[in-house]
Amino acid sequence: MSKSIFQKIIDREIPAKLAHEDDLCIAIHDISPQAPVHVLVIPKKLIPRVNEATAADQATLGHLLLTAAALAKKLGVAETGYRLVINNGRDGGESVPHLHVHLLGQRPLAWPPG
């Protein structure tokens, strides 16, 4: 199985603009931002999608959300508001089979999302 673009970024095979990195995850600025702040928080462990996560992934999943919240503060969107998005499957908008959390902010976000 070939590596996803996120695995290549984690392995430093292709460059990305880093927002954060620790032992469990990496956060990068999206190359096609949908808001002025659009960061992807990606686990270093390959979890193809949230639907395939297991109980063993619980700590990693929680870490992704806490990291996104910390980044929202760091990037100045925590006070005004932001959205976290996880896409799962084709109809959910998943384009890369590697779980990741989108952090979107710094503009009003409509509901329901498109």
* Options 38, 98, 100, 102, the catalytic residue: 100
Q: Is residue 51 classed exposed, middle or buried when 0-12, 13-18 and 19+ CB atoms within 10 A define those classes?
A: exposed
For residue 63, give both structure tokens: 């870490």
Say whether the peptide bond before residue 112 is cis (omega within 30 degrees of 0). Answer: yes
Q: Is 102 one of the catalytic residues?
A: no
Q: Which of the residues are catalytic?
A: 100
